Amino acid sequence: HYQAYERGVPVADLEVIGDTDKTGTITHFVPDPEIFKETTVYDYDLLSNRVRELAFLTKGVNITIEDKREGQERKNEYHYEGGIKSYVEYLNRSKEVVHEEPIYIEGEKDGITVEVALQYNDSYTSNIYSFTNNINTYEGGTHEAGFKTGLTRVINDYARRKGIFKENDPNLSGDDVREGLTAIISIKHPDPQFEGQTKTKLGNSEARTITDTLFSSALETFLLENPDSARKIVEKGLMAARARMAAKKARELTRRKSALEISNLPGKLADCSSKDPSISELYIVEGDSAGGSAKQGRDRHFQAILPLRGKILNVEKARLDKILSNNEVRSMIT
């Protein structure tokens, strides 16, 4: 059978065109320039990426995309038995992973199906992609928020139960536990409500609770059953937390200095009288005794002397907050 439509209206009645023992539907679509005003020219790479994405999101399906335009002939076939687990492996293909196998979680509650796949790598950024009914929710939404909340809570709870955290250690932040994370969240919802102009943010409140509940329970089980992977994940978060705290301390040390303090000269500096940098000289000497001799022999007009303690901090190995709190280093950079 064959039937053509234009703008949703049948052009002619259903027509019998032959016999076949096959079943299925073939759809031919030609973009209408009156509706698609921006362009009616297909971008193969854009379509191919979207088709690959759909193949990842629908495990086991075969999707073929072929360009038959003259001079542009090419064809790709996509099939992934691993679904979104394969998607995570694809995204991490050029990275050093923290644990070999991606974590895969699937569950269903109240008609809502939740799939999550995640794997950590050695990078310092996170890549989290969320989908609802195979629609890419670029702006996130309630399902993504539920995932993030559950991830942070479960990892902190696990680390405390296993004694990885000391009693007075603060919890890891959401940013800490997501550093180096690649994750796919895909849910199927019978009545999704999207927000925003582009409709790429899920707004259903129940999606947050269900995603959090299903994901948290399964992740907790995974961590208990895979202690080696669990410890690597927690250690990755701890490293991120240490770096965050060091950066925070460095910022606090810098902010503590008022504009007046910054302009003050180091106490042991014997300054010169000239303000002309083209002729002025600064001699950094070891210890007060050497400083005394240098001060006696200098030309006060253009030669300044700064005595420093003999052995100062090795800044190549020290944390930033330690560097900025060191008196000798501060004397040189003030």
Q: Which residues, in sequence order, are CB contacts of 75 under 8 Å at separation 6+?
A: 64, 65, 66, 67
For residue 265, pLDDT over 70 is answered with: no
Q: What are phi and psi of 65, to 5 degrees?
A: -125, 130
CATH number at residue 14: 3.30.565.10
Tokens for 101? 């196998």
Are residues 213 and 125 part of one domain? yes
Q: Which residues, in sequence order, are CB contacts of 253 under 8 Å at separation 6+?
A: 321, 324, 325
Cβ(225)–Cβ(164) below 8 Å: no
The residue with greater pLDDT, 188 or 258, is 188
Q: Which residues, in sequence order, are CB contacts of 280 under 8 Å at separation 6+?
A: 272, 274, 302, 303, 304
- Residue recorded with tokens 């099939």: 79
In this structure, is residue 253 part of a structural domain?
no
Mean pLDDT, range 222-248, rounded to an integer:
94
Give pLDDT, residue 319: 78
User: What mean pLDDT is reported for the chain?
Assistant: 91
For residue 308, pLDDT over 90 is answered with: no
| Res. 324 pLDDT band, cuts 50 70 90 | confident
In this structure, is residue 254 part of a structural domain?
no
Q: What is the pLDDT of residues 22-36, one digit of tens each?
A: 999 999 999 999 998
SS3 50: helix
Taking the CB of residue 121, how many other CB atoms lie within 10 A of it? 22
For residue 59, pLDDT over 80 is answered with: yes
| Res. 291 pLDDT band, cuts 50 70 90 | confident
Are residues 55 and 195 part of one domain? no
Give pLDDT, residue 255: 67
Segments of the chain assigned E as strands: 5-6, 9-10, 63-67, 74-78, 103-109, 112-120, 127-132, 135-136, 181-188, 194-195, 201-202, 281-286, 303-308
* CA distances, 160 to each of 20, 63, 76 (Å): 65, 46, 48
Q: What is the pLDDT of residues 70-105, one digit of tens each?
A: 999 999 999 999 999 999 999 999 999 999 999 999
For residue 261, pLDDT over 60 is answered with: no
pTM of the entire predicted model: 0.75
Are residues 92 and 70 part of one domain? no
Are residues 285 and 169 part of one domain? no
Query: Burial of 211 by CB count in 10 Å (0-12 exposed, 13-18 middle, 19+ buried)?
Result: buried
For residue 311, pLDDT over 90 is answered with: no
Cα angle at 156 between 147 and 85, to 5 degrees?
Answer: 40
Which of 109-123, 152-166, 219-233, 287-301 bottoms out in mean pLDDT, i.e. has the lowest? Answer: 287-301
Pairing relationship of beta strands 74-78 and 103-109 according to DSSP bridges: unpaired
Are residues 284 and 153 part of one domain? no
For residue 260, pLDDT over 50 is answered with: no
Give the rounded percent of residues in the chain with a pLDDT score beyond 70.
96
For residue 259, pLDDT over 50 is answered with: no
The residue with greater pLDDT, 145 or 266, is 145
Residue 74: half-sphere exposure toward Cβ, Cα within 13 Å: 8
Mean pLDDT, range 140-165, rounded to an integer:
96
Concatenating the DSSP letter of every residue in 79-105 gives: --TTTHHHHHHHHTTTS-BSSSSPEEE
Query: Burial of 199 by CB count in 10 Å (0-12 exposed, 13-18 middle, 19+ buried)?
Result: middle
CATH number at residue 242: 3.30.230.10
Are residues 196 and 121 part of one domain? yes
Give pLDDT, residue 329: 81
Count up the domains in the chain and report the number: 3
Which residues span the domain enclosing 322?
Answer: 259-333
Length of the chain: 334
Taking the CB of residue 122, how many other CB atoms lie within 10 A of it? 10
Are residues 201 and 269 part of one domain? no
SS3 121: strand
Give pLDDT, residue 296: 86
CATH number at residue 281: 3.40.50.670
Q: Which residues, in sequence order, are CB contacts of 301 under 8 Å at separation 6+?
A: 272, 273, 274
Q: What is the pLDDT of residues 184-199, one digit of tens each?
A: 999 999 999 999 788 8
Are residues 66 and 89 part of one domain? no
In this structure, is residue 54 part of a structural domain?
yes
In this structure, is residue 164 part of a structural domain?
yes
For residue 276, pLDDT over 80 is answered with: yes
For residue 267, pLDDT over 70 is answered with: no
Give the rounded percent of residues in the chain with a pLDDT score beyond 90.
70
Mean pLDDT, range 274-289, rounded to an integer:
88
